[in-house]
Amino acid sequence: MTKTIFTAFFLLFLNHISSQNLEPFEITDAWLAKIEQLAPTGHTVKNVSIKKILVFSKATGFKHWTIPQNNEMLKILGSKSGVFEIHIGYDIENFEKDNLKKYDAVILNNSNPKGPKRDLFWDLLKENTSLADQEIETKAPQYQQNLLDFVAKGGGLMILHGAITVQNNDPEFSKMTGGSFDYHPKQQPIHLKVVDADHPLTHAFKGDGFTLIDEPYFFKNAYFDYNFRPLLYMEVDKLVGLKKAVDYNIVYVSWIKRYGKGRVFYSSPSHNAQSMDNPEFLQFLLDGMQYVVGDLECDDTPMKSTTFPGN
């Protein structure tokens, strides 16, 4: 197939998925059955113990409509794989030291805080306690430190889409997550490409990547330290509606990294629950869960010391 014909087919495909209905929908038995069918039949790393995961799903700022769908999807991945016990949490008490000790990993499920402060723990205390602002200013950093310590001492952290904003203005939190949210253009078709087709965490995509309609996230702060191993990327010159000029063409939208003794997995996709219709994406998330709990051993060498696309 010539490059011209391929481009024409690709544009037709983009137009097709752009026309798909991405409106929010209610969780139904039929939808749950579909995700159950699409979910991986097994987990990549066998003969492992059951791990407990806290899925924190409270947003105080922008509330992604996919939060409840993500909860159900993660519960299905956990039960169908047989290696994860999923606990859904909404209260700040989940981040008390003793409560965090109950879990092997935490998944932050689009738990976006309010802007411009971008401090989820401050917001949660403000909304759910009678503490004065001065007291909150003292107590909120303690919860943040609890999470930082949890990961640094060996806990896992998985971050879905907008949850990278949980402590978006804090340098140490950005260092742990691998970056902070900057902005995104409008939703549009994005062809996400695989950085390394041989890496265990991208095997699900068989080297091809995938196309979805999503918010193309751009990042700031620790992102430009490239202290992570990238998994998926998008090309800036394929996007529309940029608000800022950039001098690079590669933006990484998913990565893994170490933080102390712990492991972090970030996936910017997806803003829409329709992306869960892709079984390869579900496998990708399940493999990410196995990575953060320490069952899936793989190369997480930081990008800054290795050569990758755009580096």
pLDDT tens digit string along 133-146?
999 999 999 999 99
Q: Provide the residue ranges of all domains of the chain, joining segments of one domain with +.
A: 48-305
What is the CATH code for 48-305?
A: 3.40.50.880
Tens of pLDDT, residues 204-253:
999 889 999 999 999 999 999 999 999 999 999 999 999 999 999 999 99
Mean pLDDT rounded to a whole number for the chain: 92
| Under 8 Å between Cβ of 70 and 56 | no
Q: Is the pLDDT of residue 3 over 90?
A: no
Burial classification of residue 198, based on how many CB atoms lie within 10 Å of its CB (0-12 exposed, 13-18 middle, 19 or more buried): exposed
pTM over 0.85: yes
Q: Which two tokens stand for residue 87?
A: 């606990």
Percent of the chain residues past pLDDT 90, beyond the cut? 86
Q: Is the pLDDT of residue 7 over 80?
A: no
Taking residues 269-288, report their average pLDDT. Answer: 94
250-259 vs 229-235, strand pairing mode:
antiparallel
Residue type, 86: I
Higher per-residue pLDDT: 239 or 305: 239
Residue 234 phi/psi, 5-degree rounding, is -125, 160
With a CB cutoff of 8 Å and minimum separation 6, the contacts of 281 are 204, 210, 212, 269, 270, 275
Tens of pLDDT, residues 75-116:
999 999 999 999 999 999 999 999 999 999 999 999 999 999
Taking residues 161-190, report their average pLDDT. Answer: 97
The whole-angstrom separation of Cα 209 and Cα 242 is 23
What pLDDT score was predicted for residue 208? 85
Burial classification of residue 107, based on how many CB atoms lie within 10 Å of its CB (0-12 exposed, 13-18 middle, 19 or more buried): buried
Taking residues 152-177, report their average pLDDT. Answer: 97
Q: Is the pLDDT of residue 14 over 50?
A: no
Q: Is the pLDDT of residue 184 over 50?
A: yes
Taking residues 41-51, report their average pLDDT. Answer: 91
What pLDDT score was predicted for residue 10? 42
Q: Is the pLDDT of residue 310 over 90?
A: no
Residue 140 phi/psi, 5-degree rounding, is -55, -45
